[in-house]
Amino acid sequence: MSAVAPPVRDDQQREKPSPGKADRPEVSDRARQEQRLAQRLVAPAVVIMLLVTAFPILRALYLSFYTYSLTSPEDRAFIGIDNYVTALTDGLFWRDIGVTVLYMVVTVGIELVIGFAFAMVMHRVVFARGLIRTSILIPYGIITVVSGFAWQFAFTYQNGFINGWLPGIGDSFNWFGETTPAVIAIMVSEIWKTTPFMSLLLLAGLAQVSDDMIEAAKVDGATWWQRLWRVILPNMRAAIMVAVLFRALDAYRIFDNIFVMTSGAVGTESISFLVYRQTIEQFQLGMGSALSVLLFLSVLLVAFLIVKLFRVDLAKARGEE
Amino acid sequence: MKQRVGLVVGVGLILVWCLLPVVWIVSLSLKDAVAVTNGSPGFFPADGAFAGFDNYRDAWGNDQFRRAIINSLGISLISTTLSVILATLAAYAIARLEFRGKKLVLTTALAIAMFPVVALVSPLFDMWRAVGLYDTWPGLIIPYMSFTLPLAIWTLAAFFREIPWELEQAAQVDGATSWQAFRKVIVPLAAPGVFTAAILTFFFAWNDFVFGITLTSTEAARPIPASLSFFVGADPFNRPASLLAAGAVIATIPIVIIVLIFQRKIVAGLTSGAVKG
């Protein structure tokens, strides 16, 4: 859970010249000084960021060419790309990729629709704003593990209430007994927790659409539906795309809810969960590293596909919003 | 009129959406432990299955749980503080100074925000054990800092760009020393942004689960989400639902308090820096 949408304001904002800077002769000297100060200011943050990401992922790349198990570390040996071959020819890997993509597509799609509806309501509403804001931040702030527990217990027939509330479902229906219902339960928890974030991003985008334009369309006789599709949505395209990109990448890394609700049983395992299981439960560091590298590459691929497919222009989104 | 009714219904739906599961977990935490073990379906505790605050007393009385709360508070607060200090320096440079590599810093931050955290589990597990950081507070504080820095940098840079820095010079022209100008003019203007970044960072650290379960093995450093998930009770196939619910509610209280006090700031931070934790 750590998607950062690019800032709404651009970063090529003009530097305000310090007083006297422009008319002094040693401009380049000052610029160099500024340069050095700036680099010294960003250095600690950059070092910390790379320390725990770039270095370990390179280390994972290295380990992925070895057979290396914590249960017998002395047997560590170079085996080339065998780990990759094993992973990529195993049906389990592809099934988990498929399940992960399913989680991503379904949850982001539903979040987008519900999040947009929430944003519309919040945009129009003039009363109880503090109350709505507070409520919408609770799912956002709550621990994912807690959300997972809340929904898992809600779905269980032993102590939950959902079987009793849903018509057409028997009181003793076991949601976690087979793949489809278990996947649905996990998705519900995921969607519940992350829709508020989506709606806040969309609300910010909605605020950028000029009221005059909507009013003009209304005067011209456009129906509500036409105004939505022809005026509002096209004008907040950048905001929607950024929200989708970041939520999608976040959803692709789904792990917490699966761990808590099913522990990956009955075919609910995601690719992140597979990596975890190989490393921590089976102590296969070589294989786990190979899977880590594959996970990393697949995230890059997903990000690339979304940017290409939806033509998300990050720079534009940053500059225009 | 019709529109107003629609809005009221919409607001009602939003409130139900956000609060129903919260009410449910509180309700579950009030169910009697014995009744829950035998199965006690329904939204509210059944007649005779109401436990009052028994589960809370049990959860709070559990050493492991209390340790986990302390770990979580300590680790989250320390990593938030360090991360916000480093991010403030970096964001100041990004917002105020012209330098080569600015784009690179922002891109790195963005890339790390999208990084698949689980991919680090395997190498970090190995590295931390080699250098003795496994199952220690610093062992979690360092990765938390790495992953909260992007969020803090983006938010702070967005806030700092909005500050009218000319005021600093104006104050100096009016006779303030540069320290006074900084303290009396810039700090009050920058403080809300720094504060918002701190809240979002804290949320992230408090919520983390992947590092929490993989880089700890005992209660020496295990944070609350990990501790809750490992708390299985006597029967692994029948977890003590009401006790866990009580623990979950306790773990949610800090979040609720922060949200209640700072809701306006958090929304401003989320949408101006457009950040998620």
Q: Three-state SS across B99-164?
A: CCCHHHHHHHHHHHHCCCHHHHHHHHHHHHHHHCCCCCHHHHHHHHHHHHHHHHHHHHHHHHHHCC
SS3 A263: coil
Q: Nearest chain A residue to B26 by CA: give it.
A: A150
CB A279 within 8 A of CB B123: no
pLDDT tier at B275, thresholds 50, 70, 90: very low
pLDDT at A65 over 70: yes
- DSSP letter assigned to residue A128: S
Domain for residue A28, yes or no?
Answer: no
Strands A66-67 and A77-78: antiparallel
CB contact under 8 A, A137 and B266: yes
Q: Nearest chain B residue to A294 by CA: give it.
A: B119
Full-model pTM:
0.87
To the nearest whole number, what is the mean pLDDT of chain A? 85
Residue A318's identity, in one-letter code, is R
Of the residues A18, A113, A118, A146, the best mutation for testing chain B's interface (the one with the most B CB atoms within 10 Å of its CB) is: A146
pLDDT at res. A21: 45
Q: Which residue has the higher pLDDT, B6 or A270?
A: A270
* Bridge partner residues of A284 (DSSP): A69
pLDDT tier at A26, thresholds 50, 70, 90: low
pLDDT at res. B21: 94
pLDDT at A48 over 50: yes
Mean pLDDT computed over A68-80: 83
pLDDT tier at B22, thresholds 50, 70, 90: very high
pLDDT tier at B233, thresholds 50, 70, 90: low
Mean pLDDT computed over A90-110: 95
The CATH number of residue A202's host domain is 1.10.3720.10
pLDDT at B238 over 80: no
Domain for residue A159, yes or no?
Answer: yes
Domain for residue A283, yes or no?
Answer: yes
pLDDT at A316 over 80: no
Domain for residue A270, yes or no?
Answer: yes
Q: Which residues have CB under 8 Å from A59's CB, separation 6+?
A: A289, B123, B126, B127
Residue of B43, B115, B277 with shortest CB distance to A53 = B115
Q: Which residue has the higher pLDDT, B246 or B274?
A: B246
pLDDT at res. A22: 47
pLDDT at A261 over 70: yes
Instruction: Give the count of domains, chain A.
Output: 1
Q: Nearest chain A residue to B274 by CA: give it.
A: A5
Q: Which residues have CB under 8 Å from A274's CB, separation 6+?
A: A92, A93, A96, A264, A291
ipTM: 0.88
Domain that holds residue A310: 91-320
Q: Which residues have CB under 8 Å from A217's CB, separation 6+?
A: A226, A227, A230, A231
* Bridge partner residues of A78 (DSSP): A66
Residues of B in contact with A291 (CB under 8 A): 122
**Minimum distance, in Å, between the CA of residue A92 and any CA atom of chain B:** 18
A103-117, A211-225, B101-115, B178-192, range with greatest mean pLDDT: A103-117
**Minimum distance, in Å, between the CA of residue B248 and any CA atom of chain A:** 6
Mean pLDDT computed over B180-189: 84
Domains in chain B, start-ordered, CATH in brackets? Answer: 1-61 (no CATH), 63-272 (1.10.3720.10)
pLDDT at res. A314: 56
